[in-house]
Every structure is written in structure tokens, then in C-alpha cells.
Amino acid sequence: MAFHAVHTLVRHVAERHPQRIAVEDPRGALTYAALEALSDQVATELSAVGATAGDFVLVLAEDRREVIAAVLGVLNIGGVFVPLDVTGPRDQVADVLADTAARYAVVGSGRPDHTAKLPVTTVAVDATKRMAPTRPVSSSHRPAPDDPCYLFYTSGSTGRPKGILGRLSGIDHYVRWETDLLGVTDEWRVSQLTTPAFDAMLRDFFVPLTVGGTVCVPPTGAVLDPPKLLTWLDEQQITLMHCVPSVFHTLVDAASRSDAELAALRVVATAGERLPTGDVERWFERYGQRIGLLNLYGPSETTMTKTYHQVTASDVDLPSIPIGTPMPGAEVLVLDERRRPCPPGDLGEIYIRTPYRSLGYHNRAEATRAAFVPNPLTGDADDVVYRTGDLARQLPGGALEYIGRSDHQVKIAGVRVELSGVESVLETHPAVEKAAVAAFDGPEDVPYLCAFVELSSRADDGELRGHLRATLPEAMVPAVFVRLEELPRTISGKIDRRALPEPVPADDSELDAFPPRTPTEEALARLWTRMLPVGHVGVRHEFFDLGGRSLQVMRMLTQVRQEFGVEVPLADFLAAPTVECLARRLDEETRVRATLSGESGDGPR
């Protein structure tokens, strides 16, 4: 198909439908005309300070209206946008600046703490100010298919993130494929649930914007509050939702107890993790097949996703939901250890062949050569395929079944985690002599990371977690730390990962120092031990320091509501996430209700 730069497609929509709503954010809405005016201002000011085609431009904004305007403005001058999560670790900005040597940044309103001392020239973008219509920015740059246009960072083996450099044709190819497959029109309202720092935001933004639809952003915290997210999807008449299976799982739980009919929702597209058959079965039981389920697969290196499967009710009888077949413009090879094609049913590694792959890893020539290799079936150096490291087998109907990883990389809450990268950061702590990190399936089949450490001096779990959190996102921080006198090693002296022990639930004397004292505390402690990789719970230890994850919080609060009959707002729990504080709130609520009803009592119902 003929190439079209996505930002020019958005401009064409703005010219035809200037008053149509382009973005709805809790802070306000932007029409296509206002979005174009804001992006043109960004482009004009970037050009005025010297930014030109090919320059890296950081995007630091939380308001999605400002993120989208900044991205379009950078594309308008032929630049490379580098979006960062302003709520993430502060060290990430320094790491990205060191990697890119970027000289420019577009900064949104309300984030002065992230930008006050940046050694770059900054341009402001503020969606709260009304912009007068401007003439389209005049640029001598004409977009070409292979133009570099974005840089997204993913986990690296040294602990420093790797930047994946994308090309314009990759975005265009994926976006037009999805809009054609689903029949997306200008009436569609598409959810935007992910952080701007992940490449999934490309489909959230450009699938609707290139056809005249609306990008819809939920209220803050809704992704971690399934009933709130479900209500928002229903009330805002969302047509298409992209999410990771972890979020879908929490939504299924909420839907089973809700009367939300999701009348406008046509498709839920999942990607980033294995999609459990149990969740699919429960979803179909609640909504039938009126709402389509689309399971997507593909690494960021090949531009978003490259295989797809439209889920049916019969899929629930399979061991796992297939990741499907290649989209047009992509080919999948399943090869054995000798790089020969695997017969159907045999396990092999996935190689992806597509002209719409990324341009490789920025400043990582060796890593790029190791991942983007000549096609083993042709030997042609110009016939490049991406070696994913993912294992799969071909099912009788031709679809692929994802099995797992062939290396030390895992997915936690949809985030790709390079285990050696976590180890590298952990080993920079002065008390850590050596570390090995592994993934395990925890309670309720929620995967978690365990760090096995050799220590030269005492360091408690909180200190080690704090050290990691200064650099790494939540998904990369181990839930459990196991101290070993010596890590198991092979004859050659390497860490023997197969000999690492299965983590036993924590039996820390610190936990014993704060045992449950009341029936409510005892009930909550039992609930937490069912959810978290711990043997028992100290009532003053925080949920997250016991291995809890953000998406587990709402599942826990849902069970609290079922067991105690008390609705605890997410924000209230996050302000004091301990058994002690939660139990105090539940007991107070129980006493108030008992007083009003003339009864007495406490503890779970």
C-alpha cells in the first residue's frame, strides 16, 4: 500500500472536520482544529530554537492532550519524539539524555519538578490555554517511509534501558491495518489506558486520529480501579479498548458483579502477555460474543504487533488463547535450534520478517546485529528477520500458540523485563556481592520476581527495594528477596539458574514483630497471604513491600468489600497500605453501622 505519514493523515482530518472532538481528557477536550493549532505552535517554537529533522526531542507531559500535540509537533518538523513517563523513576530522564544527547524537550503544564534543571532547550505545550488558529507549519522536510520518528525504551541487560528507534512506515502500516480490520470510523471512541512511555500508545493515538475518531482518557487511577474503569467505559460509550491481559482480568472480575452493559463497546484488543482462557470464558458468559476479543502479539522491535487472533468461544477449550497468524506485510518463521523450520506442533523460536520493523537499537550496534539477523532460510544479508526469543508452536489450523521465552526475559504486568538488567542494578548496592533474579508464578497465578542475593553486609528488603525503585519501574522490582550464603554455580563458575531454590514464603522476624491482634487484622492477614508471596503478614508492613503490585490492589479491595461489606476507596488505601490501617478503617465503619442499627460487633461478616 502507498505510504502516508500519520501526522499528515491527522492534518487532513482536521481540515475536513475541524470541530470534531479529537481528544477527551478529564482536564478537558480538544477539537481537531485546536489540536492542530497546538501542535503547530510546538513545531514553530521547536524550529525557532534550532530543532530540525532527525533531532531527538523529549516529551515530558502528563496531560494526554499535550502529549499528542507534542508528538504531532515533533513529527511536523521531521524530528524523533522520545516520550517519557513523568510519574516514573527520576533517573530515567538522565539515562535517556545520556543515551540520546538530546538538546530539546517539549514540556507540558504542571511538571516543573522534572524540567527545572534539564540541560536542554525546552518548549512549552499547554492545553489549558486557548490557541488561535495558525497557518500550518512550513517545513522543508518531506516525510519518507524510513524516516526515524520515535524512540521508546525497554528493559536492557545491563540495567540501562535500550532505545528502540521506529520508522514512519511502521506506524502507518499498523494503524491502517487495524482500522481496516475493525472497520474503525469517525464515530469510534478509543480508550487510552497506557503510559506514553510504551509503544502501545501509538495505536491508542493514531487509530482514532487518522480517521476522525476520538482518543478518550479515563480519570486518574481508573486503570487500577476496575469498577470505576468499567463504569467509565460504559458511560463514555467507548467503542475500542486496548489493554494488557492483566487489566482485562480485573475488568472481567468487575463485570461479573456489575450491571454495566457496555452497549457501545465493539472490541477489546489485548497484547503484551498471555491471555488466560478462564478470563475469556467468563467474559463470554457475561457479554456473549457481541463484544469482539482480539489477541495481538509482537515485540516493539517489529513495531507494535505482527500477529493477531480473533477470539471465539471454542478457544476456551485450548490450553491457551492463540496469538494467531501474521498480519498482511509480515511473515512468521518458527525455527528449531539449528534454524530449520519446525513441523506443525513442534516447539521452536519465532522469527519475524517484515519491512515495517523498527530501525534497531539506538547506539547499540552489537545488540542490533544480534537481534536483526539474515533470514536463516535464504542466507541473504539483505533479507533481515527479527529473532524474538519467544517460543511457540503451530496449531493444526495454522495459528500460533505462545509458549514462553527462550532466554532470561519475562513479562510482568505486560512490561518486558530483562532479568540480567535487574541484577545489574541490584549489584550496584554496596551490600550486594552477587544477585540472580528469576520469575515465578505466585498466588492466583500472578507472576512475580524473586531476587537471590549474596550480601557482604546487612541490608533489609526495604533498603534493597528503595535502591531499585530509584531507577527501575515497579514491574522490575522483585517482590521477594532470598538471602543465600552462596549462589549455586556451574563447574565453569557461572550462576546455575536451574539450581536456584523455589522461594519459600517469607519468614522474617520483622513480620513476627507485628502480628495480627484483632479478628479483623487476622482476617486481612489471611487474605493478603492468599494473594502475596509471603507466609504471614506483619500488620505494619506495606502491601507493596510484601510483593504486592498495583493491579492486585483492586482485587484485594474487591475481596475486602465482599468479606466485610465495606467499600474502601483506592486513594484511602494507598495513603496507608497496611493491615493495621485498613483494619482500623473497617472496624470503625462496622461500629458506625452497628450504632445506627442498634447492634454491636466487629470483624468480617
pLDDT tens readout for residues 379-391: 888 899 999 988 8
Question: Given this model, what pLDDT does residue 509 score?
Answer: 44
The model's confidence at residue 511, banded by pLDDT at 50, 70 and 90, is very low
Which domain CATH number covers 488?
3.30.300.30
Indicate whether 231 belongs to any domain: no
Which domain CATH number covers 393?
2.30.38.10
> Quick one: 456 and 425 in the same domain?
yes
CA angle 23, 2, 187 (to 5 degrees): 30
> Quick one: 468 and 445 in the same domain?
yes
CA angle 540, 544, 550 (to 5 degrees): 140
Compute the average pLDDT of residues 445-456: 82
CA-CA distance, 229 to 136, in Å (whole number)?
37
HSE value, Cβ hemisphere, 13 Å, CA-based, for 303: 28
CA-CA distance, 460 to 467, in Å (whole number)?
11
- Share above pLDDT 70 across residues of the chain, in percent, rounded to a whole number: 89
Indicate whether 461 belongs to any domain: yes
Question: Given this model, what pLDDT does residue 159 score?
Answer: 56
Indicate whether 435 belongs to any domain: yes
> Quick one: 497 and 541 in the same domain?
no
Across the chain, what does the average pLDDT equal?
86
> Quick one: 518 and 565 in the same domain?
yes
> Quick one: 416 and 493 in the same domain?
yes
Does the structure show a pLDDT above 60 at 246? yes
Does the structure show a pLDDT above 90 at 438? no
> Quick one: 398 and 461 in the same domain?
no
CA-CA distance, 177 to 194, in Å (whole number)?
21
Question: Given this model, what pLDDT does residue 386 score?
Answer: 95
> Quick one: 434 and 517 in the same domain?
no
Compute the average pLDDT of residues 483-492: 74
- 60 beta partners: 107
- The residue assigned the cell 510546538 is 42
Compute the average pLDDT of residues 170-180: 96
Per the CB < 8 A criterion, the answer to whether 293 and 283 are in contact is yes
Return the H-helix or E-strand segment holding 528. Answer: helix 519-531
Return the H-helix or E-strand segment holding 373. Answer: strand 372-374
Does the structure show a pLDDT above 80 at 295? yes
Distances 367 to 148, 209, 465 between C-alpha atoms, Å: 18, 34, 29
Give the least confident one: 84-88, 429-433, 521-525. 84-88
Compute the average pLDDT of residues 531-541: 79
> Quick one: 426 and 460 in the same domain?
yes
The last residue of a domain, from among 405, 439, 459: 405
Per the CB < 8 A criterion, the answer to whether 159 and 422 are in contact is yes
Does the structure show a pLDDT above 50 at 536? yes
Compute the average pLDDT of residues 150-158: 76
Give the least confident one: 261-270, 301-310, 397-406. 397-406
Per the CB < 8 A criterion, the answer to whether 405 and 497 are in contact is no
Taking only the tens place, the pLDDT of each residue in 55-65 is 999 999 999 99
Indicate whether 361 belongs to any domain: yes
The beta strands (E) that lie in 428-578 are given as 432-441, 447-455, 480-483
Distances 161 to 101, 221, 362, 397 between C-alpha atoms, Å: 15, 26, 11, 38
Q: Which domain holds residue 454?
A: 409-503
The length of the chain is: 605
Indicate whether 23 belongs to any domain: no
The last residue of a domain, from among 362, 382, 405: 405
Alpha helices in 445-518 (DSSP H): 461-469, 509-512
Indicate whether 228 belongs to any domain: no
> Quick one: 425 and 492 in the same domain?
yes
Q: How many domains does the chain have?
A: 3
Question: Given this model, what pLDDT does residue 189 score?
Answer: 97
Indicate whether 474 belongs to any domain: yes
Indicate whether 181 belongs to any domain: no
Does the structure show a pLDDT above 80 at 595? no
Taking only the tens place, the pLDDT of each residue in 189-233 is 999 998 898 899 999 999 999 999 999 999 988 888 888 899 999
Does the structure show a pLDDT above 70 at 262? yes
> Quick one: 482 and 549 in the same domain?
no
Does the structure show a pLDDT above 80 at 156? no
- In terms of pLDDT, which residue wins out, 25 or 93? 25
> Quick one: 428 and 486 in the same domain?
yes
CA angle 130, 132, 133 (to 5 degrees): 130
Nearest to 556 by CA among 538, 575, 534, 579: 579
> Quick one: 532 and 464 in the same domain?
no
Compute the average pLDDT of residues 103-114: 79
The last residue of a domain, from among 405, 425, 454: 405
Return the H-helix or E-strand segment holding 10. Answer: helix 6-16
DSSP letter (8 states) at residue 199: T
